[in-house]
Amino acid sequence: MVCKDRDDSQGPASPEDDRAWHEALKGVTPMRHDRHVAASSLPPARARLRERDECAALDESLHGPIDLDWRLEGGEEPRFARPGVRASVLRDLRRGRWFAEAAIDLHGLNRAEALDALKTFLATAERKRQRCLRVIHGKGLGSPGNEPVLKKLTLAWLARQPAVLAFCQARVVDGGSGALIVLLRAQTAPPADACADR
């Protein structure tokens, strides 16, 4: 039991009050006010939902069904070209002979936000008839285990998009292993917006 000192604002206590007060305090241990409260030994909080989300994305990107032709040339650099796309197209893309007309940065987005942003970005590029894009997914240095979760997710998702003809890792000046250069198919028909204006 913890007790505060008696309130003396009502004036001096009678001897009976003092006896009653001391009787009530028998067996009570005074509380030390100079005690140091030890820091919690609990580990720092972790964003478990974010980790679960990123693990699911990694699993999907590694094990999800992709029946497309992956061409990984030169070690770890990701490169993709659809069957029928000439090797020279991928080579030109890798050497920077295509100019990126638009770019998107996915840093700081979770899996769902990144996919939504990427879908919107590709749809806008198709509508504007842009062919070459830069997608910055980051290197994964802030992810658990320094795993590039968004990178792997982005690779898998882009490879599933019919509008994507090819992509490769960006040159160092364009983001290196933290970015991709993406080539979209050429559109033969005018965009729907253009038809509506006539």
- Asked if residue 139 lies in contact with residue 175, where contact means CB atoms within 8 angstroms, the answer is no
Q: Could you give the CA distance from residue 33 to residue 100 in angstroms, rounded to a whole number?
A: 66
Highest mean pLDDT among 4-13, 34-43, 114-123, 181-190: 114-123
pLDDT for the residue numbered 71: 43
Residue 31 is assigned to a structural domain of this protein: no
pLDDT for the residue numbered 194: 46
CA distances from 146 to 77, 106, 141, 177 (A): 17, 16, 5, 14
Cα–Cα–Cα angle for 48, 49, 52, rounded to 5 degrees: 85
Assess whether pLDDT exceeds 90 at residue 39: no
Taking the CA atoms of residue 169, residue 177, residue 124 and residue 153 in that order, the dihedral angle to the nearest 10 degrees is 100
Q: Considering the entire predicted model, what is its pTM?
A: 0.58
Residue 146 is assigned to a structural domain of this protein: yes
Residue 5 is assigned to a structural domain of this protein: no
Q: Could you give the CA distance from residue 116 to residue 160 in angstroms, rounded to a whole number?
A: 15
Per-residue pLDDT tens for 126-159? Answer: 999 999 999 998 887 666 666 677 888 899 899 9
Phi, psi for residue 136 in degrees, rounded to 5: -95, 110
Residue 155 is assigned to a structural domain of this protein: yes
Residue 141 is assigned to a structural domain of this protein: yes
- The CATH number of the domain where 158 resides is what? 3.30.1370.110
Residue 40 is assigned to a structural domain of this protein: no
Structural domain that includes position 108: 48-185
Assess whether pLDDT exceeds 80 at residue 10: no
How many domains are contained in the chain?
Answer: 1
